[in-house]
Amino acid sequence: MKNTPYIGPERRQFVRLEHSVPLAYKICKKETITKLMQGYTGNVSSVGILCNIKQKVEKDDVLWLSFDRSTLHFCEELEKKSLIYQNGVIGKVARIDNRADGTFNVGVQFLIREEKYSSHIYPKIYFLNLQE
């Protein structure tokens, strides 16, 4: 019964709001960082986002996400805590679901400025400056 919807009590720690708007994103890898890709948000919370994208990503990939945050009441807190770069939020892929239409629903956890391993993220974001 894998596809049976869960009907028990809410297990999420943070409330998610349905928020479907266009999304621009980049995958923070040397071969893809210069490609600005398009997708859509599905729902968003103060700690993460579910988005629908066409590009295949892997768990723990780092993404740069740009979407309309101005309409969300908790975004003031998100702006204070999250790692923001060039008006985009930096996040780490937490889960990936393949969809029948060939796209992917991707759960992304926002990286916070106090992230224990944020020093490991720095090179991934700034490797644009690396010349080979």
Closest of 30, 29, 18 to residue 93, by C-alpha: 29
The pLDDT assigned to 14 comes to: 55
Position 91 in a domain: yes
Q: Look up the CATH number of the domain holding residue 68.
A: 2.40.10.220
* Domain span holding position 37: 17-129
Question: For residue 71, what pLDDT is reported?
Answer: 56
Q: Is 66 a member of any domain?
A: yes
- The pTM score is 0.72
Question: CA–CA separation, 48 vs 110, rounded Å?
Answer: 5
Of 32, 7, 37, give the one whose Cα is nearest residue 22: 37
Position 45 pLDDT exceeds 50: yes
pLDDT score of 84: 78
The Cα–Cα gap between 72 and 10 comes to 21
Q: Interior CA angle at 43 toward 126 and 94, to 5°?
A: 50
- State how many domains the chain has: 1
The backbone region for 28, taken as left when phi is positive above 0, alpha when psi lies in -120 to 50, beta otherwise, is beta
pLDDT of residue 38: 96
| Mean pLDDT value of segment 37-50 | 88
